[in-house]
């Protein structure tokens, strides 16, 4: 009798004790994170082995200049790090302002245009990146070869084409959440449209702008497909391409250090963006909490 009651209770509420879901979740997290942690750990290995721990050392990060085998002193890896950072910062400087303007323009657009523009922005998330990379390579090589040459300039154009959707979506979501009341109030008080946008709307958009900048930087620094197709020489190959090329042979632990550098850079960008977002929106969260408490009372 008690067994039948237990079965009936489980049938009514099968997720009361979701041990199966917990096991699957922890198994997935372990499967995803443990290999990354192992790769990061062996970047601090004292020896060249990538399977046996031989003691802690920073040899593969800031080793001897004479050996030229660490991430800091290896000419190829150091050039790749500089190129990755250059592409990421340039992409942020171009894509974020451009995406912010696109978002404001789409929000002000009337008619059928906004739907087409939104679909175009979302299309970059749907189209496989390899198709976008091949398309840009063919366009730059055959259609615009006299204007755009493969290398840093072509890579920045390709990354901006792919990354501009992030600020458009994030900033437009912010525009929909704050509404048009503040901007309309500023214009009712005599401010022209440009001044109301610059002094009223833009400060309200700062959280979304910083968040989109963090997303663009994090996604640009580890991009592989677009930058690989649009690179010209080894000097324009970023760190992701160098890691891929070295991993196909017998890579030294300095490659683990390079991959760890990309991971730490991405986490740092996301963390800084999150902290800045929390600090900027602190007043909004407090006012929302006060309104919620007043509503409950």
Instruction: Tell me: do 45 and 124 sit in the same domain.
Output: no
252 near 69, Cβ under 8 Å?
yes
Tens-digit pLDDT profile for the chain (297 aa)?
455 555 555 445 555 566 778 888 888 888 888 888 888 888 888 877 777 788 888 888 887 776 677 788 888 888 888 999 999 999 999 999 999 888 888 877 776 666 777 777 777 777 888 888 888 888 888 888 788 888 889 999 999 988 888 898 888 888 887 777 777 677 777 677 677 777 777 888 888 888 889 889 988 888 888 898 888 888 888 888 888 887 777 777 888 888 888 888 888 888 887 888 777 776 665 655 555 455 455
Q: The tokens of 209 are what?
A: 């702008």
Instruction: Tell me: do 51 and 97 sit in the same domain.
Output: no
Sign of the Cα torsion 34, 39, 40, 41 reads positive
Instruction: Tell me: do 227 and 145 sit in the same domain.
Output: yes
What's the burial of 86, exposed, middle or buried (CB within 10 Å: 0-12/13-18/19+)? middle
**Torsions phi, psi of 127, nearest 5?**
-70, 130
> Domain boundary residue among 12, 35, 62?
62
Position 290 scores a pLDDT of 56
Distance CA 88, CA 160 (A): 10
Distance CA 162, CA 92 (A): 12
Instruction: Tell me: do 147 and 281 sit in the same domain.
Output: yes
Position 292 scores a pLDDT of 46
What is the CATH number for 225? 1.10.3720.10
Instruction: Tell me: do 19 and 124 sit in the same domain.
Output: no
Instruction: Tell me: do 127 and 149 sit in the same domain.
Output: yes
Instruction: Tell me: do 227 and 93 sit in the same domain.
Output: yes
DSSP of the chain, one letter per residue? -HHHHHHHHHHH-TTSS-HHHHHHHHHHHHHHHHHHHHHHHHTTBSSS-SSS---B--HHHH--TTT--STTT-HHHHHHHHHHHHHHHHHHHHHHHHHHHHHHHHHH--SSHHHHHHHHHHHHHHS-HHHHHHHHHHIIIIISTTT--TTHHHHHHHHHHHHTHHHHHHHHHHHHHH-SHHHHHHHHTT--HHHHIIIIIHHHHHHHHHHHHHHHHHHHHT--HHHHHH--SGGG--HHHHHHHHHTS---HHHHHHHHHHHHHHHHHHHHHHHHHHHHTHHHHHHHHHHHHHHH-
Position 37 scores a pLDDT of 87
Task: Flag whether 11 is in a domain.
Answer: yes
| Boundaries of domain holding 23 | 2-62
Instruction: Tell me: do 217 and 146 sit in the same domain.
Output: yes
Instruction: Tell me: do 7 and 106 sit in the same domain.
Output: no
* 45 DSSP β-pair partners: 56
**Domain total for the chain?**
2
What's the burial of 162, exposed, middle or buried (CB within 10 Å: 0-12/13-18/19+)? buried
Instruction: Tell me: do 36 and 160 sit in the same domain.
Output: no
């Amino acid at each position: 009798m008690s067994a039948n009651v237990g079965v009936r209770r489980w049938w009514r509420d099968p997720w009361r004790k979701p041990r199966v879901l917990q096991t699957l979740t922890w198994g997935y997290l372990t499967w995803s994170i443990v290999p990354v942690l192992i790769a990061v750990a062996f970047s601090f290995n004292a020896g060249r082995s990538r399977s046996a721990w031989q003691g802690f050392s920073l040899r593969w990060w800031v080793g001897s200049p004479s050996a030229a085998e660490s991430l800091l002193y290896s000419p190829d890896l150091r050039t790749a790090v500089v190129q990755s950072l250059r592409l990421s910062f340039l992409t942020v400087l171009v894509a974020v302002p451009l995406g912010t303007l696109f978002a404001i323009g789409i929000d002000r657009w009337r008619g059928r245009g906004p739907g087409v523009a939104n679909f175009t922005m979302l299309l970059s998330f749907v189209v496989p990146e390899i198709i976008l990379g091949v398309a840009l390579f063919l366009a730059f090589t055959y259609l615009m070869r006299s204007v755009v040459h493969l290398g840093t300039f072509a890579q920045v154009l390709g990354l901006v084409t792919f990354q501009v959707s992030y600020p458009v979506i994030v900033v437009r979501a912010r525009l929909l959440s704050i509404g048009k009341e503040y901007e309309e109030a500023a214009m009712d008080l005599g401010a022209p449209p440009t001044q109301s946008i610059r002094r009223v709307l833009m400060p309200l958009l700062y959280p979304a702008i910083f968040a989109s900048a963090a997303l663009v930087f994090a996604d640009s620094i580890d991009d592989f497909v677009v930058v690989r197709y649009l690179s010209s020489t080894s000097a324009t190959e970023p760190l992701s391409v160098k890691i891929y090329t070295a991993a196909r042979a017998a890579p030294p632990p300095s490659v683990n250090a390079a991959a760890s550098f990309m991971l730490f850079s991405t986490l740092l960008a996301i963390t800084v963006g999150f902290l800045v977002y929390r600090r900027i929106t602190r007043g909004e969260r407090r006012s929302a909490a006060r309104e919620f408490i007043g509503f409950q009372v």
